[in-house]
Amino acid sequence: MTSPSSEQISSRDHRVDFLRGLALAMIFINHVPDNFYAGFTTINFGLSDAAEIFVLLAGFASANAYFPRFAQGQAVSASLGALKRSAMLYASHIVTTMMALALFCAAAMVFARPGYVHDMIYNVGLKTFFENTAAAFVGMVLLGHQLGYFNILPMYMVFLALLPVMMWLARMSRALLFAASLVLWLAAGWYGLNIPNYPIPGGWFFNPFAWQLLFVIGFISGLWSREGRMPEFNPLLFWLCIAWLVFACAWVRLGYSAWKPADTLIPQRLWNFDKTYFALPRLLHILALAYVVMISPFGEWLRRIPPSNPLTVMGRHSLPVFCLGSLLAMAGAILRYEWGGGVLHDTVLILSVFTLPMLLAYALDAGRPAPRSRAAQAA
């Protein structure tokens, strides 16, 4: 581990904002089905995708946002802050879901295509609202019925609701926090633990019992970073990570990611490619990617990216940017269905999906002190 320095402890790591903005950009691109640019996002070159990046960075950011107050004796204040943020995520999720429903209803009326409210573009659970309306709305409020492409916020709000417990364990021992998280991940994969859906059978697509392991790893990494104790660069580990990333890329590009082997003693949920239960290959892939990007010399190049660039600004305001961008991606999907595909059409649609969230992020940034000024004030 490297020794702490005042600069490392006090300054904001803008690489996190940049990578979070990049993850949001890939999420928006992937949510417009079959567009030309979706073929260039990370999901096509490895075993993890933008969701893993987002969750890992969410844990990292939470360590900086809440744990310092918790560790300084303001446990109640820090815990209430996390719970307040979780409540804000819940409200944002409900409002965004309702707006998505209204968007597809408007498309059905404007284009005279009733199929829009029956999952003509996405198989995301829209038709449940119209075939079993009462139960669907109850499920929406209770988070048992989540539209596809809008289901990452409920998982994140669970993490923030549990953050006081995580911080309490971390204050006692970070090894204890990691061990508890690892045991919960193993139990979820082994026994199929998940939060149930309603009214449609099944469980959450993003299973919080499994994905919390990645959030906790990000949280512990955030604590290390704040203390200036991040792992030093190790050439051997770097090349092992590169080898795994290359192997994963070849595996996906050759079409083996859908491989379904015979039953084994260890449940496939743990070691195959299951996204709901966050299987081991996905975990190893995102950790290898994180090491190459953040710990290797490439991470120092990222430090030179100015904090005022669009992706970094979007990453600083991830919640409103995510909500607006997700709705615009739905609108882009509708327009692409009506307008047709092609590089030119896809370019116009994707640029449109980016422009408004980017302008929103800059507007939210305009009334705040510059990031470096905030870091200097904190120091």
Question: Is 84 among the domain residues?
Answer: yes
For residue range 127-145, list pLDDT tens digits in order: 999 999 999 999 999 999 9
Q: Is the pLDDT of residue 185 over 50?
A: yes
Mean pLDDT of 151-167: 97
Q: Is the pLDDT of residue 1 over 50?
A: no
Question: Is 41 among the domain residues?
Answer: yes
pTM score above 0.95: no
Question: Is 39 among the domain residues?
Answer: yes
Residue 358 belongs to what domain range? 6-378
Q: Report the alpha-carbon distance of residue 105 to residue 102 in Å, rounded.
A: 5
Question: Is 93 among the domain residues?
Answer: yes
Domains contained in the chain, number: 1
DSSP H stretches of helix in the chain: 6-10, 14-30, 50-71, 75-110, 126-131, 133-141, 152-172, 174-191, 208-226, 235-253, 268-271, 280-290, 297-303, 310-316, 318-339, 343-366, 371-378
Question: Is 1 among the domain residues?
Answer: no
Confidence of residue 367 (pLDDT cuts 50, 70, 90): low
Q: What's the confidence (pLDDT) of residue 273?
A: 84
Q: Which two tokens stand for residue 49?
A: 């995708």
For residue range 21-37, list pLDDT tens digits in order: 999 999 999 999 889 99
For residue range 314-358, list pLDDT tens digits in order: 999 999 999 999 999 999 999 999 998 889 999 999 998 999 999
Question: Is 140 among the domain residues?
Answer: yes
Question: Is 192 among the domain residues?
Answer: yes
Question: Is 349 among the domain residues?
Answer: yes
